[in-house]
Each structure stands twice: as structure tokens, then as C-alpha cells.
Structure 1
Amino acid sequence: MQSHDHTPGQNHQELAYLPVPFPKAPPKKPRFAALRAWWDTAWEENGVLYTMWEDVLSVPEAGFRHMAPWLRAVLMVAGVSFVVLMAKAAGEVVLEALHQLLTAVPKVQVGVDTSSGVFAVVDQPVRTYIAQHAAGLPVEGSTVYTLWLLTGIVALVLGYLSRNNGVRAMWTAHGAATVFMVWTATPDTSRPVAVALAVLAWTFLSAFAMRGLTLRRPAARPVEITVQPEIHVPVQPPAAPADQHNGCPFRD
């Protein structure tokens, strides 16, 4: 049978071995497409970021009390964090200054005659008592003596300024401890005079530390009763309308 293919030297069966083209891969989505879509949606009207930005812009008019709750919470957390950081920094400075003060204190001699005058009547027995009873403590006796002085000064100043009962109690305990140390460390022959001078000095300073303290109970204020006479006039009922027919029994 004669073939209908007019191409010279070409076999019809070779068409089955031609290469088959592969399907094209789908185009890849650009990176961060979902993030970009969310970003565009969030900045649309009534979106999340759009609403938050509107809350921020309305702060000057709304004030702290009426601002958005989430913004108020952020400001409160930031404020508390700032206060904590400042308190920590201030505490480190105070502790460093106190450490330098206490490390320099041991140069002060304790238990010897380092004071003179009337102040020595109270000061020297206190130094002697602290030197005798601070031997087994992990701090130096001079440090204890400095803390004793600081406690008295702080209680005196704060008691005069604040009139706080807790500060007054601290001042009272400091005075009682001082009198006890003077009584214990003073020789028997001069003990009464030393204790008397210590009590007089503490009483004189107590006039400043316990300023405003009174043992009298505050007088009760009389209750003010205000009498305001009022006259209540009852509301009169409205008068009945007059009859249009002047009492005529016949009506239209």
C-alpha cells in the first residue's frame, strides 16, 4: 500500500519518539505575602493597628482616666518599671555610701576616753558598754556605736518633723537603752549622777522629738444642728369648669 507521507526519507513510526513537554510549575508566591496582606488589612478603617493609632491620638483629649485600657496598662507598667529601676539605683547609691561610712567608722576608738565635758558622762559609758558586749558580733564595736548615734539622730529629727508615733517609739527605746548602758557601765560611786544627767538630757531632747504629743483626749466637737423652718402649702385642686348652660337642666 502506498504511503500518503510526501516527506522524503521520513518514517511515519518515528513520531512516537518525539519528546513530550512537561507541565509548567505554578508561579511562586512572593515572600511575606501573608504578612503584607495582614498589614494592609490592619491599617484599613476599623483595623487593629488603625484603631490603636486612633487611641494614641485621642490621649490628649481623653486624658489618663478615659484613655484606652490597653494604653493605660502600658503606661502603668512602664511607670512601675521606671520607679523600680530608680529605686534600685538609689538603693545601690545609699548602700554604697553607708558601706563607706561604716568601713571608715572602726577608726573611732571605743571604750576609751575619747570625749570630754558633760557629754562624756553619757558617751563614755555607752562606748565602754558597746566595747564589752560587741566582742562576739560579726561587726566592729565602732560600727555598733555609729549605728547607735545615727538611730538617735534620725529619731530626733523625724520625730520633730513628722510627729509619727512609730518614730516616737523608736526615740523612747533609744533613750531607755542609753540610760541602761549608762547605768551598767558607770562605776557605783558615780552611777546615780550619771544616770540622772542621762535622763535629763533625754528629757530635754524629747521636747523636740515628741513635739505635739499630749495625753489628753481630744474634746468632742459639739454637733451643729441647723434648724430651717419650712412651710409646706398643699397644692389646691383645680376648680371645676363652669357649666356652659348656667345650670339649665336641658342640654343640646
Structure 2
Amino acid sequence: MQSDDKPINGRPSPSFLDLLSQTPPPPGTGLDKEPGTTRFAQLRAGWNASWEQGGFLHGRWEELRQAPQAGWHLMANWIKALLLLTGLCAVIILLDTAGDVFDATVSRLADTVPVTQAGTSAVSELWGVVDNPIRSYIDQHTAGLAVSSSAVYTFWQIVGWFGLIGGFTGSTGARITWTCWGAGSVLAVWSAAPADGRTVATGIAVLAWTIASTLALRGLSLRPVVNNFPPPAPAFQPQIEIRPELHIPAPAPAPDDDTPDNVHPLQR
């Protein structure tokens, strides 16, 4: 099996399996030994060979050691994939924790706000106008899916937090996600809200979405960006032109009619 790793010092870097298959067993381990002992000795020899100059593990260690100086563009692909996977896991954990904190904060605010005549708080009533139709819409349209409605509702919350936080930091993809998420939420409220209060419920959802958009779309402007940069000045390149001078002799004067034919000009 050939290795697809990058060459190290002008030579191709073999993989660990290549070294394992090509490394002979150490002296003293022949066919008379047990197969397990011979295999372990060969594995140990391949491990030691991979850490030598030009080995597989030695090359990976050099790539990891040179990563801070190489930068993102010159970094090895496996290091980029590892960093992206780690960052994605961290974002998922942060969004899940932020969702729990938000739910706890809303519940605490609902308990501290004075109750109305119906016995519920004003905050929970306004939140329920938007949240209950969305929950009902998810329950109705996840009956035949392999995922539960609670998991879909949690995913809906995570996507909303991702669009809000990412849009606040200026990410274009997060702002697109926030716009699609808000439009889908408003459509879900319109579809699942009671017929008598559908217009009011949708209006409250739109207002809540636009208020939160002041954070998610912070700094976004619809005005076209016009860059009035002056044209670059032409570069002055002095050039010396040497033109050859051609000396053309003057034409000889025409002979006079009174001059005799035997008179000729003196020539030297």
C-alpha cells in the first residue's frame, strides 16, 4: 500500500502500515518463535522506525511543530480538520448551554413578574403566543419522521441561537441562517396559530423577530458601498533617446552660362 502523505526533505513519507509490512523482524525472532511474539516484535520495530528521520510519525510531529509558524494556509490538512472539528464541538456545547441559560432566565423572569387576572405572567403569555404555535407545528409535522418532536424543537432553538450570536459577531452565513430561521418561525406561527388570533400572533412573532434582529444584523447597511479612490498617478520613467545625426552634403552649385567649358574648379 502506497502512502499519499507529503514528501519530507524531498523523499516520500511512508505510512505506519508500510513500515510495519516492510520492517523485518528483529534478530532472534524466526519462524520457530510463536506468531504472537514475532508480530509484537515486528510492531515494535515498525513503531521505532516510524519515529526516525523520514518516518510517518516523525513527519506528523514535524507538521504539528511547524503549524504555528506555517499559518492556516500552509498548515497540514489533518491539523485543519482537527481544529474545525474541535471548534464545531465547542460551538454546539456553547449553544446548548446558552439555550439552557435562556430558558432558566425566562422562567425566572416569569416567576418575578406580577401575575395577571388569568393567573399567568405577562412575559410567559407573550412568549407562549410565539412558542406554542411553533411547538404545535413541530408536533404535527414530525409524526412520520425518525426523530422526536422534542429533538426538532431543541434543534430549532440551537439554530436560532447560532444565527443570533454569529450574526452579532458579523458572520455572513450566520446572518443568512438568522433570516431563514426567522422567516420559517413566522410561517410556522401563521400556520399553527388559532384562526381567530392568527394575525395578532403572527404580528407579535414578527415584532419579536425584528427586535432581536437589531443584535443579529448589527452594522448591516443596505446602502451601496462606493469607493472614491483617485486614479493612480502614471509612473515617471525617464528615457534617454539617442538619435543619430545624418550629415547630408550640400548640392553643388549649378554652372554659370558665362563660365567657359575649359575652366574647372580646383580639386585637391
The normalised TM-score by structure 2 is 0.46
Task: Specify which structure has the bigger relative contact order, considering alpha-carbon pairs within 8 angstroms and separated by 6 or more residues.
Answer: 1
- Point out the structure with max Rg over C-alpha: 1
